[in-house]
């Protein structure tokens, strides 16, 4: 099998236990790092991987080179580090260049002079570590399902601008629908990105998402809303340094809501159907068929007539499901259920069967 640079990057990012052990074998204790961003866009290019050390307010920026690293790789990383220090001024930034070899001692000396650590790795060894990890994970879960990944366009962090706006507004904890609509540009803004989406579509998504997870509650017919107790906890969990970043506390809050009120919204049903598709579709099914199965499970064959719409829907919900930690992506862009994903699926599946059996019984009466 050909091991691409992207596969190595994915292994390090999505299975970061492997890169933690890699650094440990080279004398670095980075046991507290978690994924921060992947291929983040900078003015000078894209940095491959960034990890956050949650205990020390440190970001570790890593460039991964398949093959030999040359002077261009060194220069690019140095420019990335310089820009990251400006973008994330509240963090200490450390840089690393990982390559299978380095073309000259001069490159290594210049990296060291600029405080950048360098390491040699073997792509074959890293991939073998990944296979060992995945085999153990599948054995622990009692599952052997790997399914296609479709890159989605929706991320949970996109909604954080709304909660940041609520936090900074004069009437913290309450808002009016029209006021939200007027301020959508402010809500969607983040340092490196403004989501260019038609106003009413994004406006509706914000309300749908917030109501679905019981973060806001409508209190009258005038379009007035208030934050629920769960919503207040979500606002409190915003990272003060990077408020738009979706973090572990937010994930736990949404998972709590997700489990407390199964099938209380279309979004929850969509996430359940992603779990169902991921778990139950045979590996022999072609990758492009998954979005059709998902559409069928959602009962939207007539509503989502175009394949582009069906693919967008699949992308949208698979990203939500992944960010909630219920499914995980392999370096080859396949999905499988995580341990918590298996548990959540069982809870939902039992609820689903009980609910629909009861509904069928009532219809017969």
Take residue 189 and report the two structure tokens written for it: 């803004």
pLDDT tens digits, the chain, 365 residues: what are they?
Answer: 578 887 788 788 877 888 999 999 999 999 888 888 888 888 888 899 999 997 888 999 999 999 999 999 999 999 999 999 999 999 999 999 999 999 999 999 999 999 999 999 999 999 888 777 656 644 543 333 222 223 334 678 778 888 888 888 766 678 888 777 777 666 665 544 444 444 445 666 778 788 888 898 888 888 888 888 999 999 999 887 887 788 889 999 999 888 877 766 777 878 888 888 887 665 545 355 678 878 766 767 667 778 888 888 888 888 889 999 999 887 777 788 899 999 888 888 777 655 444 433 333 33
What is the model's pLDDT at position 77?
Answer: 95
With a threshold of 0.75, does the pTM exceed it?
no
Written as six digits, the tokens of 29 are 């204790």
Q: What is the pLDDT of residue 281?
A: 65
Domains and their CATH numbers in the chain: 5-141 (3.40.1350.10), 147-364 (3.90.241.10)
Q: What is the pLDDT of residue 288?
A: 54
Task: Give the per-residue pLDDT at 11.
Answer: 82
pLDDT score for 102: 94
């Amino acid at each position: 099998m050909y091991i691409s640079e992207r596969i190595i990057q994915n292994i390090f990012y999505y299975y970061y236990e492997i890169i933690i052990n890699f650094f440990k074998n080279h004398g670095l204790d980075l046991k507290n790092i978690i994924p921060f961003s992947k291929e983040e866009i900078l003015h000078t290019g894209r940095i491959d991987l960034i990890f956050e050390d949650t205990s020390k307010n440190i970001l570790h920026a890593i460039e991964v080179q398949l093959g030999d690293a040359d002077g261009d790789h060194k220069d690019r990383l140095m420019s990335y580090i310089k820009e990251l220090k400006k973008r994330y001024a509240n963090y200490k930034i450390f840089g690393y260049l990982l390559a299978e070899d380095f073309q000259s001692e001069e490159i290594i000396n210049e990296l060291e002079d600029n405080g950048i650590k360098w390491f040699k790795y073997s792509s074959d060894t890293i991939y073998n570590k990944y296979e060992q990890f995945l085999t153990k994970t599948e054995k622990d879960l009692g599952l052997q399902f790997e399914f296609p990944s479709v890159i989605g366009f929706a991320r949970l962090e996109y909604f954080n601008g709304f909660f940041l706006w609520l936090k900074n507004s004069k009437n913290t904890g309450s808002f009016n629908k029209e006021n939200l609509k007027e301020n959508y540009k402010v809500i969607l803004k983040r340092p490196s990105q403004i989501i260019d989406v038609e106003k009413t579509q994004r406006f509706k998504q914000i309300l749908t998402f917030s109501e679905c997870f019981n973060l806001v509650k409508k209190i009258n017919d005038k379009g007035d809303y208030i934050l629920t107790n769960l919503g207040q906890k979500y606002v409190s969990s915003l990272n003060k340094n990077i408020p738009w970043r979706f973090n572990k506390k937010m994930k736990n809050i949404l998972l709590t809501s997700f489990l407390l009120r199964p099938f209380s919204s279309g979004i929850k049903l969509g996430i359940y159907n992603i779990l169902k598709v991921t778990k139950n579709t045979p590996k022999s099914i072609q990758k492009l068929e998954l979005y059709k199965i998902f559409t069928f499970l959602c009962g939207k064959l007539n509503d989502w007539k175009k394949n582009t719409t069906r693919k967008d829907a699949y992308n949208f919900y698979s990203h939500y499901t992944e960010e909630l930690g219920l499914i995980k992506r392999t370096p080859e862009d396949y999905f499988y259920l995580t341990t918590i994903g298996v548990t959540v699926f069982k809870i939902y599946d039992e609820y689903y069967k009980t609910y629909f059996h009861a509904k069928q019984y009532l219809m017969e009466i």
